[in-house]
Amino acid sequence: MAEQLALLPGYLTAHLQLTLTALSLGALVSVPAGIWIARRPRLEPALLGLASVIQTIPSLALLAIMVPTLAGLGALAAALFGVELRSIGFLPALAALSLYSLLPILRNTVTGIGAVDPALVEAARGVGMTDRQRLRRVELPLAMPVIVAGIRTAAVWVVGTATLSTPVGATSLGNFIFSGLQTRNHIAVWVGCAAAAGLALLLDRLIHALESGARRGSRLRLAAGLAGLLALFAYTGASLALERLHAPERLVRIGSKTFTEQYVLAEILGQRIAERTGAAARPVPSLGSTVAFEALRAGEIDLYVDYSGTLWATIMKRRTRGDRASILDEVGRYLREEHGVALLGALGFENRYALAMRDDRARELGVRRIGDLARVAPGLEIGGDYEFFHRAEWAALVEAYGLAFAGQRSMDSSLMYQAVAGREVDVISAFSTDGRIAALGLVLLEDDRGAIPPYDAIVLGRPHLAEERPRVVEALTGLLGRIDAERMRRMNLAVDRDGREPAEVAREFLAGLRSGRGSRSSR
């Protein structure tokens, strides 16, 4: 709990920066646009329709789409104006959240102005107001409660949706939720949810107080709302300015994907670097799988751990098979030549995509290898993480073994293991180093035809890292080949089953390494 609360100020500040900026941008665009549309009834359906379409895009997808969109725009901006746009982190989240806040504000502005009694509009003209005076003195004041209601709706949405910006690399309260769900740390999830809900409620009340105070002429409410909002904006502005001043030049940014092993490894890399070079490491956690690679390629993060087979299948789109060493070589050459990314080395273990079953169930069906599975598959159901059934590995498995299951279900990877243990499904796609395999009495089925490529855990460095930060790269060489599969599995289990913090597990590992108890790779 204390460990989670220590993270709160940082995450909350980042969350405020995102939401207040997005909300301000949204309101600055939507209110004038709404006024403009309200004067042009013929355009109203088309423009409100467009905003509604944006709204119907699932928020997570909208955030994800912003990454390639901004990358494309960034390339254009770089070519035309020599300006660099960051496609990972704050900017894509800000763009998506601003778009998301458009509709409620736009719609309420149009509705609010449209709902002003025509008799009052005529009276305003009759007493001699110009169009602009009528807008400022009559229409806007009368529409204000409706417009503000739209802003409040947008505020609550944006605060909530901002928790989904973690996978695109923006820090937010969502970091609690994403890493908490993966590492089964329910306290982290609760802290994230409660903080986001509290913030949404606070913003809503402050905006309401400001508006109703102004409308009813209550100085107290007006002052309270105004003071609260101004304080939030001032704090956010100051924090943004400070970050600009202290540009984290010396920070080493370490990415991680959304599962336990990645959090632990990111901690190990970060602590090792801090210990050896004194440079502070900043985790950029819970990135989407391809977002992490894109971020590294673009230099938005300095380091992260990926797996040779993943790069082989999803980035290089290869289907051919090969042994561990040759694939590692090939991946290293490809990354260097195509992307300027450095493969700093393998950590020593593999984390394969594998198929797992309950031990008792496997025995009952006489299944030990995937080859045995083909026979009984038509009577079984398989569960996989969101990616699995779309990945090349699954296609390769189906092709090599002629697998045809009675049903397949996609679910969050943190739920798959419980699903198979609880007999909800018969087979799951598992990660071979996952500690829950042993803990839940599961067995991995042998890939007897070698359909799945090797998955060496490898440390990747962004382009030019070695030239610019040689000491950082040097610090990591001591880790290469030092983590075997058993060790990794135990560390994962410590987090997943025993509820320990990844940072703590990493500290222990490094302490062991220093005292010479670190295990050399056995394979």
Q: Which residues bind another protein (CB under 8 A)?
A: 119-120, 122-130, 133, 137-138, 141-142, 215
**142 or 503: whose CB is closer to another protein?**
142
Provide, rounded to whole angstroms, the least separation between the CB of residue 120 and another protein: 6
Provide, rounded to whole angstroms, the least separation between the CB of residue 243 and another protein: 42
Residues 6+ apart with CB under 8 A from 356: 420, 427, 428, 429, 430, 437, 442, 443, 444, 445
**138 or 506: whose CB is closer to another protein?**
138
Provide, rounded to whole angstroms, the least separation between the CB of residue 110 and another protein: 20
Provide, rounded to whole angstroms, the least separation between the CB of residue 145 and another protein: 10
Provide, rounded to whole angstroms, the least separation between the CB of residue 114 and another protein: 17
Cβ neighbours around 509 below 10 Å, total = 26
Please provide the DSSP assignment of 180-192 as one string. HHHTT-HHHHHHH
**219 or 520: whose CB is closer to another protein?**
219
**130 or 326: whose CB is closer to another protein?**
130
Provide, rounded to whole angstroms, the least separation between the CB of residue 148 and another protein: 14
Q: How far apart are CA 458 and CA 478, in angstroms?
A: 14
Provide, rounded to whole angstroms, the least separation between the CB of residue 52 and another protein: 30
- Three-state SS for 339? helix
Provide, rounded to whole angstroms, the least separation between the CB of residue 219 and another protein: 15
Provide, rounded to whole angstroms, the least separation between the CB of residue 388 and another protein: 59
Please provide the DSSP assignment of 341-383 as one string. -EEEEEEEEE--EEEEEEHHHHHHHT--BHHHHHHHGGG-EEE
Label residue 219 exposed, middle or buried (CB < 10 Å: 0-12, 13-18, 19+): exposed
**125 or 507: whose CB is closer to another protein?**
125
**54 or 123: whose CB is closer to another protein?**
123
Provide, rounded to whole angstroms, the least separation between the CB of residue 80 and another protein: 44
Provide, rounded to whole angstroms, the least separation between the CB of residue 130 and another protein: 5
Residues 6+ apart with CB under 8 A from 2: none
**136 or 319: whose CB is closer to another protein?**
136
Please provide the DSSP assignment of 263-301 as one string. HHHHHHHHHHHHHHH---EEEEEEE-HHHHHHHHHTTSS
Give me the residues paired with residue 353 across strands. Answer: 431
**141 or 422: whose CB is closer to another protein?**
141
First to last CA, the chain: 39
Q: How far apart are CA 130 and CA 18, in angstroms?
A: 39
Does residue 426 contact residue 361 with C-beta atoms inside 8 Å? yes
Instruction: For the chain, give the number of residues.
Output: 523
Residues 6+ apart with CB under 8 A from 454: 308, 309, 322, 323, 324, 327, 328, 350, 352
Q: What is the DSSP code (8-state) at residue 65?
A: H
Cβ neighbours around 469 below 10 Å, total = 20
**222 or 443: whose CB is closer to another protein?**
222
Q: β-pairing, 456-461 with 342-350?
A: antiparallel
Residue 257 is inside which H or E element, if any?
strand 252-257
**139 or 306: whose CB is closer to another protein?**
139
**212 or 410: whose CB is closer to another protein?**
212
